Structure 1
Amino acid sequence: MASEKKLTLKESAREIFADKGYKATSISEIAKQARMAVGSFYKYYESKEDIFLDVYIDENNIIRQTVIDNIDWDRDMVELISQIFGWSRSLISSNKILLEWYNSDISEKLHNYYSSEKGINSNLFHLFLVDKFTNRMLSEGYSQEKIQEVLQVYQLFYYMDTHITEADLPNASKTIESLATYFVKGLFK
């Protein structure tokens, strides 16, 4: 029963966040939509930030699974990088919840989660990419040493994605994409 109520809260929050965005959403609206008292909200979540993080993680996993399902992973690596960024940009740009990644009201919590050990180890897309690229390099005959070097560079890309915002560096995501593309061109060409 308790997990059903938490799920109802999260579904209500997702609908409101998707419609109004993070800043314009209140805990009282979420509770009202879930047909609960505001006090009941606090049995399941400590704050609006916590429920938003829970919603964001689910939303991000859904979008990333769409990317995984729609990319031809056997393509040329440069084209593959272009596809990953292209699909991600397309799906995120039309998703009000995921666009909050750049909102200073909540971005610190999101970035802190995804850069934490828990966030890294539960980031299904990140784990998929590490596995996919490791297997690809193994099949192409790269040594374990070279694979580890490449994965270190990938970790740097992950770090940049979770620590550099558009406020820090205008067009940060496009710059990371360019850097990844040139790195892959040098590695696989």
Structure 2
Amino acid sequence: MEIKQAKLYDAARKLFLEQGFKATNIAAIASKAGVAVGTFYNFYPSKSAIFIDIYNAENEQVKQSILSEVDLTGDPKKVVRKIVQEILKQSQANLILQEWFVNAALNRQISKTNKNAVTDSVVYATLMTLIDSWEKRKLLKVGMSKERIISLFNALTVIDFHQSEIQTDNYFQVLNDLIDGILLVILK
């Protein structure tokens, strides 16, 4: 990566993390990188293009971070709780990763540009690694497909984004109860 391109990338990443995709514009990226707006277009055709590069790198970094911290051979309840809490925590704290969930147009662009966007996503890739581990250890109930398991865990993401609508003072207990229920359905 050329020096100016690296400066643009770093500046865009910082701005996307601070303000999100919509609030960030090309002029601000170029200014923060110390280059002219025209220089931006020498390396990226659009704001979406640089964002997608940054999103993919951010996604991979978070995925590796989570997988490096979790012992997949541990007690399934503890492992899933740790993974789900880390995914939700890191996604909530990262405006770049949040775009996958809140910006449908950008989500489609990421998926169109990156054919493996879904399978490479933090949630999917981490859970598939865990499910593969359970499958090897013969912990899954007969007839339980990976697609069904992923759908059950994806429902937790939907619930998490609507947590303000769940009237409770103990949201994480509710989340843990849901995880326990999912594990009862999928594990022997």
Q: Distance in 1 between matches of 2:19 and 2:69?
A: 29
Cα pair distance change 1:83/1:112, threshold 3 Å: farther
What is the aligned-residue identity percentage? 23
TM-score (norm 1): 0.71
- 1:153 counterpart = 2:148: yes
Deviation at 1:121, TM superposition (A): 4.9
TM-score (norm 2): 0.72
- Indicate the residue corresponding to 2:106 in structure 1: 109
Q: What one-letter code is carried by the residue in structure 2 that aligns with 1:84?
A: I
Do the aligned partners of 1:61 and 1:124 also contact (CA within 8 Å) in 2?
yes
Do the aligned partners of 1:102 and 1:165 also contact (CA within 8 Å) in 2?
no
Cα pair distance change 1:7/1:160, threshold 3 Å: farther
**Secondary structure in 2 matching 1:73:** coil
Deviation at 1:28, TM superposition (A): 0.8
Deviation at 1:33, TM superposition (A): 1.8
Cα pair distance change 1:118/1:90, threshold 3 Å: closer
Cα pair distance change 1:66/1:139, threshold 3 Å: same
- Structure 1: runs of 5 or more not aligned: none
Deviation at 1:30, TM superposition (A): 0.6
- 1:90 counterpart = 2:89: yes
- Indicate the residue corresponding to 1:182 in structure 2: 181
Do the aligned partners of 2:62 and 2:122 also contact (CA within 8 Å) in 1?
no
Q: What one-letter code is carried by the residue in structure 1 that aligns with 2:97?
A: L
- Structure 2: runs of 5 or more not aligned: 167-171
Q: Distance in 1 between matches of 2:8 and 2:157?
A: 27
Do the aligned partners of 2:5 and 2:43 also contact (CA within 8 Å) in 1?
yes
Do the aligned partners of 2:152 and 2:182 also contact (CA within 8 Å) in 1?
no
Deviation at 1:177, TM superposition (A): 8.0
- Indicate the residue corresponding to 2:12 in structure 1: 13
Do the aligned partners of 1:92 and 1:98 also contact (CA within 8 Å) in 2?
yes
- Which stretch of the first structure deviates more once superposed, 84-93 or 110-119? 110-119
Cα shift readout 1:108-154 (whole Å, capped 9, x = no counterpart): 322553586331354476345324422322222769x74xx421213
Cα pair distance change 1:21/1:130, threshold 3 Å: closer
- Indicate the residue corresponding to 1:72 in structure 2: 71
Do the aligned partners of 1:65 and 1:125 also contact (CA within 8 Å) in 2?
no
Cα pair distance change 1:158/1:87, threshold 3 Å: closer
Do the aligned partners of 1:31 and 1:38 also contact (CA within 8 Å) in 2?
yes
Cα shift readout 1:127-186 (whole Å, capped 9, x = no counterpart): 45324422322222769x74xx4212135358768999958xx67xx9998766423222
Q: 1:137 aligns with which of 135, 138, 141?
A: 135
Do the aligned partners of 1:67 and 1:84 also contact (CA within 8 Å) in 2?
yes
- Indicate the residue corresponding to 1:45 in structure 2: 44
